[in-house]
């Protein structure tokens, strides 16, 4: 909910609705409540062609004076580059670090180089710059048994299944949130490039006019949230993450409920949601192994007051939001990584200051498989 005080009329409306039990008290504030005072923003077009989200988005960057193309991933946090791309550093003085990708089980090992300025530019000449630590990757290994508590930042020899060469690997920039737990405790907000923008078109941002946060659309990545560019979004409140007391931008991921076929959404079926630009497949944990042709229903954040609800069929008829495949786990703790095909029907927004995640529908409204429940 907006951190600003609600007007008396809005407050009375909420109380009346609660008493009448017509619905849950609304928790999807109008975006302009938070962003009316902010005007600085920039739209940076994707550096790779968008072909229905069949490939991951990328941005043109300049770092250490050299132009490269960087993959933009909402499923992780932290900018990664081969160490040869970055200024030389002393490993004895740099912070040892890692990024672990739970989907692929790849562990990126290296050192965090502080205060790296990275410039991003699009086809229309717009330029933005972030300033964060960057992981200088020394090697990447397949490490299925990686456990940060036991292993620190390096894969033990008995858990390594092979070394993956990093030569001229494309930079990989994680701009996601809610990943700072378990095997990714270094995935903290200070390492997220897109919420640490320092300049637009070579002019230092004005903190009184620039609201941190980003929007992902088919054509571009937009930084700086305003009343205009947030129009049409419905917001969900986020819960505090495990590192929120250290950094008030450390929010947990949004929620989702899962059900199969004609079943109702069971109590306790709500889990964590990740809209991941880095993969085409879906990773699904829903308490049991599903069968071919099962219809899988999703309600975001839950079935009682959804913002988004949609259905896909496991191995059966496909629609625009269907992933390339579904990888299943019978874990009792629900979890949904949608894959990037979710973005064929929705723009997404992240507000790290008030702790909000937003959806904006870009379908026709006539689709049978998806509904946008606009407040």
Q: Is the pLDDT of residue 20 over 70?
A: no
Two tokens, residue 257: 């409920």
Among the residue ranges 80-84, 167-171, 336-340, the one predicted with the least confidence is 167-171
* Average pLDDT of every residue of the chain: 87
Give the domain extent around 155. Answer: 45-211
The helix/strand count (H/E) of the chain reads as: 3, 24
Token pair 């609201």: residue: 211
For 177-216, the pLDDT digits (tens) are: 998 875 567 899 999 999 999 999 999 999 999 999 999 9
User: In terms of domains, do 32 and 111 share one?
Assistant: no
If pLDDT is split at 50, 70 and 90, which confidence band does 104 have?
confident
User: From CA 277, how far away is CA 274, in angstroms rounded?
Assistant: 9
Q: What is the reported pLDDT for 19?
A: 33
* Helix (H/G/I), strand (E/B), else coil: 33: helix
Q: Is the pLDDT of residue 168 over 60?
A: no
User: In terms of domains, do 139 and 254 share one?
Assistant: no
User: In terms of domains, do 290 and 201 share one?
Assistant: no
Q: What is the reported pLDDT for 166?
A: 58
User: From CA 141, how far away is CA 185, in angstroms rounded?
Assistant: 18
Instruction: Classify the C-alpha dihedral 254-258-264-269 as positive or negative.
Output: negative
What value, to the nearest 5°, has the Cα angle with vertex 73 and ends 192 and 237? 65
Q: What is the CATH number of the domain that holds 342?
A: 2.40.70
User: From CA 204, how far away is CA 198, in angstroms rounded?
Assistant: 6
Residue 50 is assigned to a structural domain of this protein: yes
> How many domains does the chain fold into?
2
Q: What is the reported pLDDT for 158?
A: 79
Q: Is the pLDDT of residue 121 over 50?
A: yes
Q: What is the mean pLDDT of residues 128-156?
A: 91
Q: Which of 154, 185, 211 is the last residue of a domain?
A: 211
Q: Is the pLDDT of residue 33 over 90?
A: no
Burial (CB < 10 A; 0-12, 13-18, 19+), residue 6, is middle
Q: Is the pLDDT of residue 76 over 50?
A: yes
User: In terms of domains, do 153 and 31 share one?
Assistant: no
Residue 359 is assigned to a structural domain of this protein: yes
Two tokens, residue 118: 């990275």
User: In terms of domains, do 159 and 247 share one?
Assistant: no
User: In terms of domains, do 164 and 271 share one?
Assistant: no
Residue 199 is assigned to a structural domain of this protein: yes
The pTM (predicted TM-score) of the whole model is 0.89
User: In terms of domains, do 252 and 367 share one?
Assistant: yes
* Contact by Cβ (8 Å): 241, 252: yes
Residue 219 is assigned to a structural domain of this protein: no
User: In terms of domains, do 49 and 31 share one?
Assistant: no
Q: Which of 179, 211, 243 is the last residue of a domain?
A: 211
Burial (CB < 10 A; 0-12, 13-18, 19+), residue 31, is buried
User: In terms of domains, do 204 and 294 share one?
Assistant: no
CA dihedral 335, 337, 341, 345 (to 10 degrees): 50
Return the biggest CA–CA distance within the chain. Answer: 65
Query: What is residue 228's DSSP assignment?
Result: T
User: In terms of domains, do 90 and 158 share one?
Assistant: yes
Q: Which of 180, 211, 242 is the last residue of a domain?
A: 211
More confident residue, 164 or 26: 164
Q: What is the reported pLDDT for 269?
A: 74
Residue 2 is assigned to a structural domain of this protein: no
Q: Kindly write down the DSSP assignment for every residue of 253-292, as one continuous string.
A: PPEEEEEETT----TT-EEEEE--TT-SSEEEE-SS---T
User: In terms of domains, do 140 and 197 share one?
Assistant: yes
More confident residue, 19 or 254: 254
Two tokens, residue 217: 């659309």
User: In terms of domains, do 298 and 331 share one?
Assistant: yes
């Amino acid at each position: 909910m907006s951190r600003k005080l609600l007007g008396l009329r809005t407050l009375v409306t909420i109380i009346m609705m609660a008493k009448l039990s017509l619905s849950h008290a609304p928790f999807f504030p109008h975006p302009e409540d938070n962003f009316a005072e902010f005007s600085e923003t920039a739209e940076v077009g994707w550096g790779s062609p968008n072909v229905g989200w069949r490939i991951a988005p990328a941005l043109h960057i300049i770092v250490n004076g050299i132009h490269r193309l960087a993959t933009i991933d909402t499923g992780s946090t932290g900018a990664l580059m081969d160490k040869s791309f970055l200024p030389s550093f002393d490993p004895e003085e740099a912070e040892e670090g890692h990024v672990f990708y739970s989907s692929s089980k790849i562990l990126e090992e290296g050192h965090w180089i502080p205060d790296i300025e990275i410039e991003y530019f699009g086809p229309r000449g717009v330029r933005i710059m972030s300033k964060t630590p960057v992981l200088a990757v020394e090697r990447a290994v397949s490490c299925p048994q990686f456990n940060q508590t036991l292993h620190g930042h390096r894969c033990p020899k008995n858990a390594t299944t092979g070394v993956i060469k990093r030569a001229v690997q494309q930079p990989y920039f994680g701009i996601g949130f809610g990943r700072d737990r378990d095997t990714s405790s270094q995935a903290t907000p200070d390492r997220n490039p897109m919420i640490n923008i320092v300049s637009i078109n070579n002019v230092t941002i004005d903190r009184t006019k620039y609201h941190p946060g980003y929007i992902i659309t088919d054509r571009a990545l937009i930084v700086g949230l305003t009343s205009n560019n947030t129009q049409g979004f419905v917001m969900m409140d986020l819960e505090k993450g495990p590192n929120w007391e250290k950094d008030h931008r450390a929010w947990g991921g949004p929620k989702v409920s899962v059900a199969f076929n004609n079943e109702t959404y069971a109590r306790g079926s709500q889990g964590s949601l990740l809209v991941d630009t880095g993969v085409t497949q879906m990773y699904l944990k829903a308490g049991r192994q599903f069968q071919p042709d099962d219809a899988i229903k999703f309600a975001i954040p839950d079935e009682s007051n959804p913002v988004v609800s949609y259905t896909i069929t496991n191995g059966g008829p496909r629609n625009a939001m269907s992933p390339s495949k579904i990888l299943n786990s019978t874990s009792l703790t629900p979890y949904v990584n949608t894959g990037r095909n979710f973005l064929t029907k929705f723009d997404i927004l992240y507000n790290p200051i008030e702790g909000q995640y937003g959806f904006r529908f870009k379908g026709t409204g006539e689709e049978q498989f998806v509904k946008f429940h606009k407040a």
